[in-house]
Amino acid sequence: MAGYLTTHVLDTARGCPAAGLRIELFRLEGGARVSLAEAWTNADGRTDAPILPPGRFAAGVYELVFHAGAYFGAASASPPFLDEIPVRFGLSEASVHYHVPLLLSPYGYSTYRGS
């Protein structure tokens, strides 16, 4: 069984999934950030498919960048308090499903290893 990576975003300020939020995925290789994927969240706050599917999954260090400033748009201050939120993490097991959710408001966020 091959591993894969999923994510979702919950808007804790509004109490709903964060639909239409742009997410980028990078792999860190020798100090360089290599772009792997770009996706937008759907009505459930999730990407339509794993952001890193089984065929492209490998152990290593990754970074998800959540574009919170654009998501909150006109409702946030200018400049926004939170704009791009990078979450850097390591994936060590090649056959595991990793899930990295983001709980988000205009002034704070948290993340964890989900299931």
Q: What does the pLDDT look like over 47-69, one tens digit per residue?
A: 999 999 999 999 999 999 999 99
Measure the CA–CA gap between 50 and 31, rounded to whole angstroms: 25
pLDDT, one tens digit per residue, over 97-108 is 999 999 999 999
- Closest by CA position to 86, among listed 39, 45, 26: 26
Residues 25, 6, 10, 27, Cα dihedral to 10°: -20
Fill in the amino acid letter for 55: G
User: pTM to 2 decimals?
Assistant: 0.94
- DSSP secondary structure code for residue 36 in this structure: E
